[in-house]
Structure 1
Amino acid sequence: MTKDLRGIDAIAFDLDGTLVDSAPDIREALNAALRQEGLARFDLDTVRAWIGDGPDALILQALRRQGVPGDEALRLRLRRAFDAVTLAAPLQFGGVFEGIAELVAGLRRTLPMVVVTNKPTPLARAVLDAASLLPAMAGVYGADAAAQRKPAPFLLQAAARQLGVEPARLLMVGDGPADLLAAHAAGCPAALVAWGYGGHAAAAGAAPAWRVATPQQLLLTVRESRPVRRDEETTTTRV
């Protein structure tokens, strides 16, 4: 069944696992921070499964996994090192998911887009810039405090206010349970993508969501629901 998006005025995208395959870079930043403290490092599959709640939660997971008491001073040192590595090379090992550049280019003149992520805003902007996606976004809403992190509705509510749209008309597109639960709490419709990190089967039970198999499916559905003028179609190839 085709999703009707005629009631949508804007789209909020999750970042890691939705727009970009950043797991290799997150692993590199985490392991570099752990290495500085003489702690054990982790493989890509392990780190990928931890992605979604932001770097502080990621660091805590790493410390708990190796039984290290996570005192505040240690966590702060790890976080500073994690941020430094990320900012130095935001997307050196990962990249934009297949079809995302075309999706963003195709939507750019049709609907305003924002990013709503549990990654802190400076890191999120750096990754988006490295991915050449930042210019297309009307805003970047990162979790700069623990209370802002999805599944809390705070970031989606802030994005809706800034965009001047009702939450019910802001589509949240993400790959994990936190995205769907945040959308539900904020009163936003949600789309669950099949290509991300969040565990599609587990996320599907978190809250009601439209299932999206590919970026092309989302783009085509938006175009069918909100036709783009012919003179605009020629300008949507730039990101």
Structure 2
Amino acid sequence: MRAEALALDLDGTLVDSAPDIAAALAHALRAEHLDARFDLPTVRGWVGDGPDALIRRALAARGVTDPHPTLLRRLRSHFDKATLAAPLAHGTVFEGIEAVMGELARSLPLVVVTNKPTPLARAVLASAGLLPHCAAVMGADRPELRKPAPAMLLAACELCGVLPSRLLMVGDGPADVRAAAAAGCLMALAGWGYGGVEEPGPAVWRLQVPRQLLALLPPRAPTASH
């Protein structure tokens, strides 16, 4: 595999942020007197398509299938404020991610490509200590950017100065796999993440641990012996 740049998903790939997402969602619902409690596995299954989709799924589970746009805007505002106030108070960085990103960033540009809005993504990455390793952070700040659309991956290619066939998308969900296919990028599936990809296809590199990404680094020159 000849990747010259990496696009990294955030939630479920770099950080186990589902506990924080669940806390922000609960805060937003309480703020609007919508007392609905969802367990962590349920919320984890809703993660991956951004906060607007998350909020709609929570409302649908509560029986609200046609929410008023004003309610959606208020819930999103509450969610964003709660996330920015405590970006990673309950979640953690997946084991091995920080060390691997540090090594990779010395040789390859790393761009975070996430369906989380950019300000929230940057806050989480900063709290996780991962932001210094990132050449850029691209969030789905408009609906048309949201994965599985290829727009953010193509923008990452342009930013890094590489062809799509030389950009490796590393993610854990169906939207990541489909976005990579739509953009013509390489794809690696993070087996430690939230999953939900049943048949990723033969072209997808299945990762068991983050350190497998170090295979992308060029071989080191042998040390001269005396």
Task: Compute the TM-score of the two structures, normalised by the length of structure 2.
Answer: 0.94
Which residue in 2 is equivalent to 1:62? 58
* Structure 1 residue 10, shift from structure 2 partner: 0.3
CA contact (8 A) 1:181 1:207 kept: no
Out of 35, 46, 49, the residue aligned to residue 53 of structure 1 is 49
CA contact (8 A) 1:12 1:115 kept: yes
Out of 17, 21, 24, the residue aligned to residue 12 of structure 2 is 17
| Superimposed CA distance per residue, residues 139-182 of structure 1 (whole angstroms, 9 cap, x where no aligned partner) | 10100011110000000001111111111100000001110110
Out of 73, 81, 85, the residue aligned to residue 84 of structure 1 is 81
1:34/1:192 Cα in 2 relative to 1: closer, same or farther (>3 Å)?
same
* Structure 1 residue 229, shift from structure 2 partner: 5.9
1:67/1:104 Cα in 2 relative to 1: closer, same or farther (>3 Å)?
same
Which residue in 1 is equivalent to 2:219? 227
How many residues matched?
221
Percentage of identical aligned residues: 59
* Structure 1 residue 228, shift from structure 2 partner: 4.3
Q: Is 2:21 aligned against 1:29?
A: no
Which residue in 2 is equivalent to 1:72? 69
CA contact (8 A) 1:121 1:141 kept: yes
Give distance in 2, aligned partners of 1:127 and 1:230: 39
Counting only pairs closer than 5 Å after superposition, residues 103-182 of structure 1 correspond to structure 2 as 103-182=100-179
The residue identity in structure 1 corresponding to 2:18 is A
* Structure 1 residue 115, shift from structure 2 partner: 0.3
The residue identity in structure 2 corresponding to 1:64 is A
In structure 1, list runs of 5 or more residues that go unmatched. Answer: 232-239
RMSD: 1.5
The residue identity in structure 1 corresponding to 2:16 is D
Which residue in 2 is equivalent to 1:234? none
CA contact (8 A) 1:8 1:169 kept: yes
Which residue in 2 is equivalent to 1:94? 91
Give distance in 1, aligned partners of 2:40 and 2:154: 33
Which residue in 1 is equivalent to 2:208? 213
Counting only pairs closer than 5 Å after superposition, residues 180-191 of structure 1 correspond to structure 2 as 180-191=177-188
| Superimposed CA distance per residue, residues 56-92 of structure 1 (whole angstroms, 9 cap, x where no aligned partner) | 0000000111112311000000000000000001000
CA contact (8 A) 2:3 2:167 kept: yes
